[in-house]
Amino acid sequence: MGCRIFLFGTLCHDGLRAKVMGRAVAGCAAVLAGQAVLDLGGLPVLHPAAGQAAQGLLVELGSADLARLDLYEAVFDYRRIDATVQCAGHQVAAQLYAPAQAVPPDTARPWRIGDWAASQAEAALAAADDLFALAGQIGVEALRIRYPMLLAHCASRLRAGRAAQPARLRRDWGRGDVISRQRMTPYAYFFGVQVDDLRFRRFDGSLSPLVRRAGFVMSDAITLLPYDPVRDSVMVIEQFRYGPYLRGDANCWSLEPIAGRIDPGETPEACALREAHEEAQLDLQADALISIGNSYPSPGAVSEFLFGFVGLCDLPKTREGVAGVASEAEDIRSHILPLDDLMALIAQGEVQNGPLIQSAYWLALNRAELRKR
């Protein structure tokens, strides 16, 4: 006889459940009395709620299914506990997955599978495939660290697949013109490293010899330079950066635009507004965002793709503050200065951040038109 498991939240989605189990698994509708399913940072969590009942699915699983499910839930630091649920009018002893440490929900908003399915299910299904592919190479703790970035990368991959690919000058070739013979993941933690032995289409139409290429697997991100066209001023931020430290720079504090990674289910524009608030305590309106171009900063070996914005806003004459998300150990100082002063800092070499240089030059080219508005 198998083990009865009460599933709730994302695993009530037929597609994700099949990915996690490695096969289609049916069950019967069941409820857990005295509990509600609430949204904890995008994750569904049970929370005591008198007079309510959490909707779910009762399934019976064998040892192989349980092993896969245990691994998947362990990535979220969930463990099996005993419970009693109602199914087909009967009280049934079962088990369910709950956080190893009780975490009070940060919002009273109910978690709804329809909302999740519309915004995150596609990325979650792709991430489940990648997660189980990695499971034989790294441990659960490393998977736990890797999963949020893995999910964000899958969302980026899906976004890339839907994006228009103009080819007026470059060849109109596609992914079918690259043949990967072997793929490896030698490193997967906060970032990932992927290695492919591949052949690619050459300009004479032939395939290249087998070559090895390696790159950092990263997710899409935004950059945002706030600009006040009345005062002709900008806001830049300053923070410690590991890259310059790794290179050996004497000064590892970098002047930059506001920037951040796009969460799964989030648009680049929504991310820009969120990051403006988190990093600079600046509240912008969506219609104030101007796209200034999207780009790969280092396409030879990094999958990161940047959506660049300038944000029109009213900036005070001076404001120097420190902000950032405490849970991410961010310590970010903001500066407001005339655009001409920023251009001088670029000319003097004090600004070494590529997206800030690109954004500043875009502004220098377009400032007259923006100020006319």
Non-local CB neighbours of 53 within 8 Å, separated by 6+ positions: 31, 32, 33, 34, 35, 86
Strand 221-228 and strand 306-312: pairing? parallel
CB 112 within 8 A of CB 8: no
> E strands of 77-177, at which residues?
78-87, 90-99
CB 337 within 8 A of CB 233: yes
CA separation for the pair 267, 264 (Å, rounded): 8
The single residue of 73, 141, 266, 328 carrying the catalytic annotation is 328
Concerning whether 60 is annotated as a catalytic residue, the answer is: no
CB 342 within 8 A of CB 335: no
Q: What angle do CA 339, 344, 347 make, to 5 degrees?
A: 130
Non-local CB neighbours of 76 within 8 Å, separated by 6+ positions: 43, 99, 144, 147
> First vs last Cα of the chain: how many Å apart?
72
Sign of CA dihedral 119, 264, 19, 77: negative
* Largest interatomic CA distance in the chain: 76
CB 69 within 8 A of CB 20: yes
Active-site residue list: 328
